[in-house]
Structure 1
């Protein structure tokens, strides 16, 4: 879909192209009724920028760009502008958030490579221990994955203190695996851990965007879409995409270990239920 392609390539666009991209994403129907000159005037760029923009999206001409927009509009799969405006009603904000959730999962699903997912699942399944790295929003997702894996009998290490996380990692061996989570792929606390793991031949599963430094220090990357534009509010889309991937990784491992993990869950529930006894 052309609008999703614009979202994906947004960060690599020039300042003028971003002005045009912002206008197109917010007003796709207007593109249908505009010439290249009219669209340039409406978005505050030159006509040449409009033409080059279409070409950068792998289209031969502005006419092909309009056809691509028309095709997406007719399919009903249109990106709702998710910038929060001052006069948005609760209903409008709800619709925008629903679109963020749906779009984030759809984009993440489209980027999944089955071979990479299977490789990551195999690494976790055969690992003696799992070490998870992540800070900030990625840290919240790391903490969630840490509890899920431990709950189902997979010995996992994660600490919200990044220094402690690196301390844990010094005990890892080549029989373990590291799950490094970072949307930017440039988080120092995660990058240092991934570099250490690579130097010591410890397998690394990276959950990040496909063009980040973290990918270079990983054995397998479960890539998430580059869908967090600076004009958007908070890291909602990246959080949803990342959690979708970690949950997919978890249930895939659970499926592989179904019998043993089921017994572990039963034991955990039985123990916790004792807290509820009067």
Structure 2
């Protein structure tokens, strides 16, 4: 396969099926946007099935859709840091350190603003009700999202002992298999489309557990299994995996969930926060 995926698609276009040509037409028209889309979002936008997209990618000699997005990101106008050059906050190798800091600040603030715009009060209230009524709340995620899951566990652990965190994906799957209707899974996944994620969410759902998903995409395999979906802002290209901006959007959700939880359970949380504060106070010099 050639290094420029768009050129390769052009060369193969006349031999493609009708549905593949329809997909290719959409990609050419929206090439800068497609790299930020989930496979479900692209299927809906282009009017083809997810299976068509998978076959399309494999026909190009790629392992799957994620590898296609990475190839598309490489030929898009990006900087050495993976930032798209069509945004004013893109960091370039010609920026001074002060300009880098200012651009990162703009990007991070934008992520919080977008997350605030995506906030749904009804979904938040339902999530808080599920958290408050749960016997156990497992904070799960994989890769960079596991860092967010750990952050949520650390935050909520100051107010309740019902929140638990397991780092290893195998142990997550085992815990999920033993979940029932009294348990809640608070799951972090920016894409909502990973195999390890499904290995956790499917058995948890089968056991009756409720699932709260924090993600960027409302249409994804994880979203289909979830009872509540909370959306974070910030577009993240394949070359920006693990971006701080995306994490800041998710941390904002953790923060407003935490305060909503405390407001719903004031006495219990106040007592727990006092006890945990005293426990850690003696460790400070």
**TM-based fold match above 0.5:** yes
Pairwise CA distance, 1:154:
3.6
Q: Give the structure 2 partner of residue 235 of structure 1.
A: 243
1:46-195 to structure 2, matched below 5 A, reads 81-195=88-202
Pairwise CA distance, 1:219:
0.8
User: For 1:57-86, what per-residue CA distance to the aligned partner results, in whole angstroms no more than 9, with x for missing partners?
Assistant: xxxxxxxxxxxxxxxxxxxxxx95232211
SS at match of 1:222: strand
RMSD of Structure 2 on Structure 1 (CA) = 2.5
Classify 1:140/1:170 alpha carbon distance in 2 versus 1 (closer, same or farther; 3 Å): same
SS at match of 1:245: helix
Q: Give the structure 2 partner of residue 252 of structure 1.
A: 260
Pairwise CA distance, 1:189:
2.1
User: For 1:203-226, what per-residue CA distance to the aligned partner results, in whole angstroms no more than 9, with x for missing partners?
Assistant: 111111212211000011112236
SS at match of 1:84: coil
SS at match of 2:186: strand
* Aligned counterpart for 1:14 among listed residues 3, 8, 27: 27
* Aligned counterpart for 1:204 among listed residues 199, 211, 218: 211
Structure 1 gap segments, 5+ residues each: 1-11, 22-78
Classify 1:183/1:269 alpha carbon distance in 2 versus 1 (closer, same or farther; 3 Å): same
Classify 1:207/1:234 alpha carbon distance in 2 versus 1 (closer, same or farther; 3 Å): closer
Q: TM-score, normalised by structure 1?
A: 0.69
Q: Give the structure 2 partner of residue 266 of structure 1.
A: 274
Pairwise CA distance, 1:266:
1.1
SS at match of 1:14: helix
**Mean Cα deviation higher: 263-272 or 120-129:** 263-272
| C-alpha distance in structure 2 between counterparts of 1:181 and 1:233, whole Å | 15
Structure 2 gap segments, 5+ residues each: 1-24, 35-85
Q: Do the aligned partners of 1:84 and 1:233 also contact (CA within 8 Å) in 2? A: no
Pairwise CA distance, 1:273:
2.3
Classify 1:86/1:192 alpha carbon distance in 2 versus 1 (closer, same or farther; 3 Å): same
Pairwise CA distance, 1:13:
6.2
Q: TM-score, normalised by structure 2?
A: 0.67
Q: How many residues align?
A: 210
Report which of the two structures shows the higher radius of gyration computed on alpha carbons.
1
| C-alpha distance in structure 2 between counterparts of 1:276 and 1:226, whole Å | 36
Q: Give the structure 2 partner of residue 223 of structure 1.
A: 231
Divergent runs of 4+, >4 A = 230-234
